[in-house]
């Protein structure tokens, strides 16, 4: 699967499945991740320190895996968007967006790279392109690029209807930790205040044909949100999966040894 195929699957009403890479750096992990049922990965650079060279090597390794690499950039800024795409990402997740202006800047950089300045603002504000030839060229160049917008606060939820008017958004991301803090109940994911906010995000986004990612860490919560209509499924992290697998296996081995 590539970015264009992932977008086509979602546009047709299907689901795609992925996880977040928070700790992995070694490029040799990329082929391992290609055979475990993942359609995409989100590689975190917001909270995880990675150099540009390191990220470039990691993304190169994904080019032959069939897993779509998406970068969570540090802030919603066009400079970080283009750095990620230039390094080989097929998509960008821009965290904690709250305004239409932020979203326009991100989407413009994802969809119309390397156009900048007044020319790209004209596209976003009025749909006016430099020329038909330039439009065709840029659409082909960026056809695999995926623009995901992070809605992670009460203010963002309040502005979501306006945000979704921006053309070119491929997904809406919910960061549960940030959103739960914003509604007043940190990490309390069963609170109605949190769940109602996420359900509102899903309903509003799907009404515009935009799928939603809710990044939950355990099967119970991820299952719940799939049942609520999440189609851009983002489950757990490499760190958590590795830790839980070792914890489970070591507990079983200790139990076997106690029975000797």
Instruction: Provide the annotated active-site residues.
Output: 47
Strand ranges, E, within 117-218: 146-150, 171-174, 212-214
Q: Are 166 and 104 in contact (CB under 8 A)?
A: yes
Q: CA distances (Å), 155 to each of 100, 160, 214, 216, 253, in order?
A: 12, 9, 18, 21, 49
Q: Are 194 and 31 in contact (CB under 8 A)?
A: no
What CA–CA distance (Å, rounded) separates 253 from 241? 18
Residues linked to residue 234 through DSSP beta bridges, in sequence order = 18
């Amino acid at each position: 699967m590539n970015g264009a195929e992932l977008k086509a699957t979602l546009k047709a009403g299907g689901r795609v499945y992925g996880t977040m890479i928070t700790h992995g750096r070694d490029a040799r992990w990329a082929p391992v991740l290609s055979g475990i049922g993942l359609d995409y990965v989100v590689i975190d650079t917001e909270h995880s320190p990675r150099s540009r060279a390191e990220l470039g090597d990691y993304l190169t390794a994904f080019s032959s895996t069939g897993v779509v690499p998406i970068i969570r950039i540090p802030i919603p800024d066009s400079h970080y968007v283009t750095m990620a795409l230039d390094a080989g990402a097929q998509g960008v997740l821009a965290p904690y967006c709250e305004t239409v202006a932020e979203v326009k800047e991100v989407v413009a950089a994802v969809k119309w790279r390397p156009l900048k300045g007044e020319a790209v603002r004209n596209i976003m504000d009025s749909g006016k392109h430099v020329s038909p030839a330039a439009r065709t060229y840029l659409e082909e160049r960026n056809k695999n690029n995926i623009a995901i917008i992070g809605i992670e606060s009460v203010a963002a939820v309040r502005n979501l209807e306006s945000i979704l008017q921006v053309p070119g958004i491929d997904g809406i991301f919910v960061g549960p930790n940030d959103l739960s803090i914003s509604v007043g109940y940190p990490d309390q994911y069963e609170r109605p205040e949190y769940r109602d906010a996420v359900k509102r995000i899903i309903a509003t986004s799907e009404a515009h044909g935009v799928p939603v990612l809710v990044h939950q860490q355990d099967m119970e919560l991820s299952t719940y949100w799939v049942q609520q209509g999440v189609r851009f499924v983002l489950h757990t992290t490499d760190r958590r999966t590795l830790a839980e697998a070792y914890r489970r296996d070591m507990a079983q081995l200790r139990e076997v040894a106690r029975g000797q």
